[in-house]
Amino acid sequence: MSIPGTVSFNIHRVDNSSLEKQSDTIAIEEPLEIVIKHYIDGAWIEEPLMVTMRTPGDDLSLIKGLLFSEGIISSIDEIDDISKFGSNTSQHNVDNSLMVTLNQKNQVSLSNLKRHFTVNSSCGVCGKGTLNAIEIAFEPQITINKPCINFDLIPTLPKLLNNAQAQFAQTGGVHASALFNTNGDLLHLAEDVGRHNALDKLIGYCRANSILKPIEQFVVCSGRISFDIIQKILMSRIGMVIGIGAPSSLAIDLAKKFDITLVGFIKKHKYNIYNGEWRITSIS
């Protein structure tokens, strides 16, 4: 069965020194150009926001999540329309240029975001200055004691996540972010070649469909937890994020600054709590 966001390639596989020609399923990676149309100073203007490499599929959730995470919108109602523009269609027959039209009530200035979007997200951004900028730009409202989950639930999460990853099962080449409730029920999962895109798709879908209830839920990410992941969690007022891999130092700094529970390095019955151990209890 063909999984959306994947394509087949002919490859040669080596097994015990035997060379065999086979077909392999690969995750698609395509550029997505995002342009913002907004009303400012009495006129409609169109400004390029960014180009991101992503796995096509659920692009609308990706864009919505990105706009929430970057503080461009605070409500889904601020988006009037998302539509394709131009003729930038890929070989996989997907639209690679989308325009977001914001309503007139949104008076966002994109000039403050331009530098951010020209920096590769894997570089760690800019340390202390970035932490201070977030504190000034955004007043966090994270509930200090919730969500609260059981110690024993955490080691089961990698398997629960893996079992729900249809694209990863086919390709082995995508990341996932998932929303769980405190009972360990999977509420929604998103996949993408980019860790940040997977989280944006998750947040965009859950906020657009009124699923997100931060005091009752937490997020699990398949890879390492970087500063940008925690920033997106913070902007959605989520109090707990669990990574299968390790966090970066700046991710821990940001989690501590805003009282976010950060868990990582899950290995069988072992894992590390880097901050916010008060939300994890041994009481069922």
47-77 b/e with 16+ CB inside 10 Å = b?
eebbebebbbbbbebbbbbbbbbbebbeeee
Rounded CA-CA distance 79/204 in Å is: 12
User: What is residue 115's predicted lDDT score, i.e. its pLDDT?
Assistant: 45
d(CA 257, CA 259): 6
pLDDT band at 119 (very low <50, low <70, confident <90, very high): very low
Residue 206 is a catalytic residue:
no
Which of the four pLDDT bands, split at 50, 70 and 90, describes residue 17? confident
- Return mean pLDDT, the chain: 86
- Cβ neighbours, 10 Å, residue 215: 14
What is the structure's pLDDT at 117? 53
DSSP-assigned letter for residue 24: E
The answer to whether residue 125 scores a pLDDT higher than 70 is: no
Q: What is the pLDDT of residue 38?
A: 92
The alpha-carbon radius of gyration of the chain (Å, integer) is 20
- Between 7-11, 196-200, 223-227, the lowest mean confidence (pLDDT) is in 7-11
Strand partners, 54: 30
Give the pLDDT confidence score for residue 114 in this predicted structure: 53
**DSSP-derived 3-state class of residue 204:** helix
- Measure the CA angle with vertex 171, ends 236 and 124; round to 5°: 40
Catalytic residue (choose from 123, 126, 148, 221):
123
- Give all domains of the chain, ordered by start, each with its CATH number: 30-120 (3.10.20.10), 149-281 (3.40.140.10)
Contact (Cβ atoms closer than 8 angstroms) between residue 192 and residue 203: no
Q: Are 227 and 238 in contact (CB under 8 A)?
A: no
pLDDT tens readout for residues 70-109 = 889 989 999 999 999 877 677 778 889 999 999 998 877 7
